[in-house]
A and B are shown apart, each in its own frame.
Chain A
Amino acid sequence: ELKVEQNPLFLSMQEGKNYTIYCNYSTTSDRLYWYRQDPGKSLESLFVLLSNGAVKQEGRLMASLDTKARLSTLHITAAVHDLSATYFCAVVTAGNQFYFGTGTSLTVIP
């Protein structure tokens, strides 16, 4: 079974700092998604990465995909409080099934 691991699981960072969340997966996949979830709320799609070397940026968030290393990163630049949420990566298998990572709970401290 495909395993999707994120680290760290919990991240507390100060406003203005940079940090990276990592998503490792155990089998071949050429599609990866990042989602954001606020407490008690639904999941909101952030990025879709469809090929090796893909990089997407939106505001202070940038996601990248390395299919050879089976690794995706979500980089946060100059964090602000509004970015506090849980971030999930999701990997799609050849059978078109989504497998979600464990989630990274991010808290940005003023």
Chain B
Amino acid sequence: DSGVTQTPKHLITATGQRVTLRCSPRSGDLSVYWYQQSLDQGLQFLIQYYNGEERAKGNILERFSAQQFPDLHSELNLSSLELGDSALYFCASSVAKGGGGYGYTFGSGTRLTVV
């Protein structure tokens, strides 16, 4: 157990729907990162939050949004889902803004299947 908790582990939903993925960072970590992993795109950085504020944005679609709450857990909202959104979504956390000397700690991921 890495200490980063992601729920749910699996999610199957229909096109056009909206889902929320949840991430609780490791105790003491202030940064949360979201990544999408698909077979054709590899690991794509989506967005980072540090202590409740958005810090960096990657290749995140406008249909996707995220937030980090005062208790530091984060949620990734995916709306108007398309078949191509099917992927593994990882959350990672770190103490420092940029991972510092220890890098990221990854959660076990949420496998999203859009049918």
Contacts and interface: CB of A to CB of B under 8 A. Distances in A.
Contact of A41 (B33, B92, B99, B108): B108
Given A41-B108, A42-B109, A33 B103 contact: yes
A45 B104 contact: yes
A13 interface: no
B25 interface: no
Interface string A1-39: 000000000000000000000000000000101010000
A33 B92 CA distance: 14
A40 B43 CA distance: 13
A17 to B, nearest CB: 27
Q: Is the interface of A mostly helix, strand, loop or mixed?
A: strand
B42 A92 contact: no
18 contacts: A35-B103, A41-B108, A42-B108, A43-B92, A43-B104, A44-B106, A45-B105, A50-B101, A92-B98, A95-B56, A96-B56, A96-B99, A97-B48, A97-B58, A97-B98, A99-B45, A103-B42, A103-B43
Interface of A: 31, 33, 35, 40-45, 48, 50, 88, 90, 92, 95-100, 102-103
